[in-house]
C-alpha cells in the first residue's frame, strides 16, 4: 500500500471532498453518492474503483463510451445527469460507507438553487439517502434510490442494476 493511500485510508483527521460537483445548466437529474472511495481519491474522479459498475452501467444505458474522464463528463452532459456526493468532509478507516464518521454535508440546497432545472435527486447508496433525509428533507424535489454500483453491493447482478438505473433515470441509448 502506498503511503498516500494509507494516509487516505486510515486518516484520523478530517478528509475534505476532493472533487467539485459535475453539473451543467441543463442538468435534470443529480446523482449523489456518499463520499469518494480511496480509489476515487487516487484516480481523481468519481466512481474510480476499477470494479465499480457506475460508468459501465451509464455506458450501456447511453451508448456513449466511458474510457476516460472527458468521455465520462461528456456522457453526463449529454444525459443531463450531474454527479456529486452528500458528504463535504468526514473521517474514515476504509472505503465502506459504514466507516464514515463525523460527516459534514455538502450544501445540496444551494446547488439545487443554482441549477433549477434539476428535478430529481437520486442516491447510489443508503448512506447518501439517509443523510439527504436528515439534512434536506424540507426540499421540494423528487428523490429516488438507485442500487449501489459498488462491487460490495452483490444483492443485485449487473443486468438487474442496468434495469433499475434505466427505469429510474430514463436513459436510453443515444439520449
Supply the residues annotated as catalytic. 52
Q: Where are the strands (E) in the chain, listed by range?
A: 15-16, 29-33, 81-85, 87-91, 101-105, 120-123, 142-145
Instruction: Round to whole Å and give the CA distance between 68 and 72.
Output: 6
Give the Cα separation of 111 and 132 in Å (integer).
13
d(CA 84, CA 21): 5
Contact 92, 15 (CB under 8 A): yes
48 vs 13: CA distance, rounded Å: 22
Amino acid at each position: 500500500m502506498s503511503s498516500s493511500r494509507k494516509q487516505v485510508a486510515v486518516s484520523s483527521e478530517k478528509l475534505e471532498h476532493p472533487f467539485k460537483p459535475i453539473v451543467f445548466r441543463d442538468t435534470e437529474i443529480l446523482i449523489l453518492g456518499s463520499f469518494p472511495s480511496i480509489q476515487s481519491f487516487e484516480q481523481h474522479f468519481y466512481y474510480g474503483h476499477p470494479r465499480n459498475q457506475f460508468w459501465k452501467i451509464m455506458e450501456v444505458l447511453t451508448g456513449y463510451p466511458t474510457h476516460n474522464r472527458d468521455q465520462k463528463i461528456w456522457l453526463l452532459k449529454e444525459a443531463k445527469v450531474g454527479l456529486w456526493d452528500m458528504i463535504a468532509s468526514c473521517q474514515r478507516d476504509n472505503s465502506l460507507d459504514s466507516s464514515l464518521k463525523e460527516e459534514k454535508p455538502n450544501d445540496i440546497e444551494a446547488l439545487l438553487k443554482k441549477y433549477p432545472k434539476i428535478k430529481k435527486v437520486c442516491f447510489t447508496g443508503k448512506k447518501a439517502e439517509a443523510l439527504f433525509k436528515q439534512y434536506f428533507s424540507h426540499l421540494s424535489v423528487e428523490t429516488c434510490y438507485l442500487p449501489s454500483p459498488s462491487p460490495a453491493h452483490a444483492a443485485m447482478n449487473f443486468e438487474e442494476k442496468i434495469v433499475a438505473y434505466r427505469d429510474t433515470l430514463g436513459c436510453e441509448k443515444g439520449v
